[in-house]
Amino acid sequence: MSAQLLRSGRKLRSLVRFYEMKKCILVYLKVLLIFGVCNFSLSAVAEEDYEQAAMTCEVEKLIEFIRVSTCTFYRNGHWYEAGKAAEHISKKYRYVQKKGLVRTAEDFITYAATKSSISGSPYLVKCGDAESQKCAEWLRTERSKLRDIKCAE
């Protein structure tokens, strides 16, 4: 009887070790799964951060382009110099960005540099002796040229 009890005890210990090992394997698999999901999430976040940084860079180039231009800008019945226009559009950009409307540089042009939020009148730009044109069209044309200019990293 003691031999049978001894064998039962060994089987029981063997069974316990098996279940402990199984538990360890399950924990290990969970850790791998969590790490894999986190790693995937971090990759997605990194990609999203990169896209956000690229968009911000492009918008900043457009605002700087406005600031250094020799053009004048029409808004709500008045003509403004380039520095004032850049300041206003930059402030409007921050506002629409906080509202979650800006995901691309095109959104920036559409929501911050196209028309007055107050009157609905389009923003105009006049450079030298050229005819005035809509600011949004002017920026879209310049945007394609500015894409080749690198941003500071």
Q: What is the 3-state secondary structure (H, E, C) of the chain?
A: CHHHHHHHHHHHHHHHHHHHHHHHHHHHHHHHHHHHHHHHHHHHHHHHHHHHHHHHHHHHHHHHHHHHCCCEEEECCEEEEHHHHHHHHHHHHHHHHHCCCCCCHHHHHHHHCCECCCCCCECEEECCCCCCEEHHHHHHHHHHHHCCCCCCC
Q: How confident is the model at residue 38 (pLDDT cuts 50, 70, 90)?
A: very low
Task: Answer yes or no: is 153 within a domain.
Answer: no
Task: Answer yes or no: is 63 within a domain.
Answer: yes
Over 90: is that where the pLDDT of 22 sits?
A: no
Q: Higher pLDDT residue, 29 or 123?
A: 123
Task: Answer yes or no: is 14 within a domain.
Answer: yes
Q: How confident is the model at residue 4 (pLDDT cuts 50, 70, 90)?
A: low
Q: How far apart are CA 105 and CA 31, in angstroms?
A: 40
Tell me how many domains the chain contains.
1
The predicted pLDDT at position 29 comes to 47
Where is average pLDDT lowest: 48-52, 53-57, 118-122, 147-151?
147-151
Task: Answer yes or no: is 70 within a domain.
Answer: yes
Residue-number span of the structural domain to which 61 is assigned: 2-146
Over 80: is that where the pLDDT of 85 sits?
A: yes
Over 70: is that where the pLDDT of 30 sits?
A: no
Q: How far apart are CA 126 and CA 109, in angstroms?
A: 17
Over 90: is that where the pLDDT of 128 sits?
A: yes
Task: Answer yes or no: is 151 within a domain.
Answer: no
Task: Answer yes or no: is 86 within a domain.
Answer: yes
Angle, nearest 10°, between helix axes 82-98 and 105-112? 110
Joined together, the tokens standing for residue 92 give: 């409007």
Going by C-alpha positions, the residue among 97, 73, 105, 103 that lies closest to residue 86 is 73
Where is average pLDDT lowest: 19-28, 57-66, 100-109?
19-28
Task: Answer yes or no: is 68 within a domain.
Answer: yes
Residue range 41-49: mean pLDDT, rounded: 59
Share of the chain above pLDDT 70, in %: 64
Residue range 83-90: mean pLDDT, rounded: 96
Over 80: is that where the pLDDT of 16 sits?
A: no
